[in-house]
Structure 1
Amino acid sequence: MAWREDRITIHDRTLEARNDDALPGRPARLDRRNGRRMIELHRSKGGLGEISVALRRRDRAVCYRRNGELQSLVDNRGRNLMPSFDAVVDVLAQERAERVLVLGHGGGVVATMLHRKGIDVIAVDIDPRAKRLAQLFFGAPPCLKVVNSDAAAYVAAAPERSFRAVVVDFQDSEATPAAYLSEAFWRETIGLLSDQGLVVIKVSNWLRLGADWSAFQRTLAAADLDWIALGDELACGHRLLVSYGA
């Protein structure tokens, strides 16, 4: 498998965003020692864990966290402050993707940004709370199609060659999702791509610096994702991994 970094330009706008709640090595959690930093807007517990939405006092940014981990962050005008999300949208804009599947909805920021660019987008999230919270707190439009499903199950059932791009972003804890290490999942994902389609994976520090990184690379190679661009590290600690279908 060839790991290359010369085909995709990924822009990092972190310094503009001043997103200091998502720096490498810093847990993105509410500071319970100083509750005055945050105003809690929502908290709920379910079978998939706890979701909280809070307003950051110093700049009125709104944060979406699942089990304490930051998943979405927007400013007081609803503009994205997560550099990895800007990078995803930049890549898809460069490739002129017209129909995109987003696996992992969270606060709905990526899907909303793509929708506003006129891209036909379907988002998938296993948590049934995600769609309502994205509309209520993060400006996701009601017309945005959000499917409540396990990502791997949706991919297995979706029609072949139905998307120009697939965004994979559903690791929300240190544990690597089983699908990430499944050759079948990646082959089925490739099968969803139209001609010259691409897969964009948000690679967290949990994955890249963890015990499963080598197994993840081997799984992608076995699934014939053998032309890969691994972007530079963004200031939030994430990277984007981009692969083109056959």
Structure 2
Amino acid sequence: MIPLRTVQTAGGEVAVILRRSDRAVGYVKDGVLQTLIDARGHNLAPHVTAAVDVLLQEKVRQALVLGYGGGAASTMLHRAGVDVFAVDCDPCAKPLAQLFFRAPPCLEVVVSDAAAYVERAAAASFDGVLIDFQDSFETPRAYLSQSFWRAVARVLRPRGMVIVNVTRWLHGGRDWRAFQGALGLGGFDAVALSDEHGAGNRILVSARGATSP
């Protein structure tokens, strides 16, 4: 791996690396690979492709992406004609995505904690939400909070869909049942959990329950 850029952030170190073997470019936070594209700018992370495919199959027109990273999912959605609004806690995410990952400059990326953003976002603003901000073996506190999931449900329109990247740490760890419980109490019914994609990632598809706010 060849380091291209390293940025120290409040949440840890963000690095952009080049893979020697095929010239693929990766976005890495605290040693965890979050985005990987090939030399032509095409996404190489199977779970990202799977998540985007679900949103496109559901004909989502306005999508919220919580966890922008290198911008691969947001870029794919944007190129498919979806109106994308992204959130990332690291100010360096958008400029690095534009410089190294071919993300279009027009993509709007708000620098914010994901939970704080959905708490203040307008109700019924999005058809779909893609959640992907677990960047270590520690489960994000928001994932275990029913208030977070209620806030996510509130920003979704009726029949809205939420897609969660379930890492191997979450699915195989001690917090899995607590996560499922918080999701249910927050107003979501689990629809499907995929098989593993790539490095142990799974895609959880959930819909607003009948009693969601």
Judge same fold: TM > 0.5, yes or no.
yes
The number of residues matched between the two structures is 209
Distance 2:33 2:190 in 1: 30
1:28-55 Cα shifts (integer Å, max 9, x gaps): xxxxxxxxxx221101212211111111
Which residue pairs with 1:22 in the alignment? Answer: none
2:76 alignment partner in structure 1: 113
CA distance in 2: counterparts of 1:229 and 1:206, whole angstroms? 19
* 1:80 alignment partner in structure 2: 43
Query: Residues 123 and 146 of structure 1 are in contact (CA less than 8 Å); yes or no, is this contact kept in structure 2?
Result: yes
Greater relative contact order structure (CA < 8 Å, 6+ sep): 1
Query: Within 5 A, what are the aligned runs for 1:1-246?
Result: 38-246=1-209
Q: What RMSD, in angstroms, separates the aligned Cα atoms of the two structures?
A: 0.9
Report the AA paired with residue 151 of structure 2. E
Alpha-carbon distance between aligned partners in 1 of 2:105 and 2:145, rounded to the nearest angstrom: 33
Percent identity of paired positions between Structure 1 and Structure 2: 55
Q: Is the 8 A contact 1:226 1:243 kept in 2?
A: yes
Q: What's the secondary structure of 1:134's corresponding residue?
A: helix
CA distance in structure 1 between the aligned counterparts of 2:163 and 2:181, rounded to whole angstroms: 17
Unaligned runs of 5+ in 2: none
Residues 190 and 204 in structure 2, CA contact (< 8 A), matched pair in contact too: no
Q: Name the CA distance, whole Å, in 2 between partners of 1:185 and 1:121.
A: 21
**Which whole-Å CA distance do the structure 1 matches of 2:12 and 2:207 have between them?**
34
Instruction: Output the amino acid matched with 1:65.
Output: V
Residues 84-125 of structure 1: per-residue CA shift (max 9 Å, x gap): 110011101110000000000000110011001110000100
Separation in 2, partners of 1:190, 1:129? 28
Q: Distance in 2 between matches of 1:235 and 1:205?
A: 10
Alpha-carbon contact 1:125-1:147 (below 8 Å) kept = yes
Displacement of 1:225 after TM fit? 1.2
Is the 1:43–1:51 contact (alpha carbons within 8 Å) kept by the matching residues of 2? yes
> Contact 1:83–1:236 (CA<8 Å) still a contact in 2?
no
Give the whole-Å Cα distance in 2 for the aligned partners of 1:124 and 1:218: 25
Where 2:161 maps in the other structure, the secondary structure is strand
Instruction: Indicate if the aligned counterparts of 1:44 and 1:52 stay in contact, CA closer than 8 A.
Output: yes
SS of the residue corresponding to residue 59 of structure 1 reads coil
Judge conservation of contact 2:123–2:154 (CA < 8 Å) in 1.
Answer: yes
Q: Is the 8 A contact 2:194 2:202 kept in 1?
A: yes
Counterparts of 1:44 and 1:224, CA distance in 2: 37
Give the 3-state SS of the residue equivalent to 1:210 in structure 2: coil
Divergent runs of 4+, >6 A: none
Q: TM-score normalized by structure 1?
A: 0.83
Using structure 2 for the length normalisation, give the TM-score: 0.96
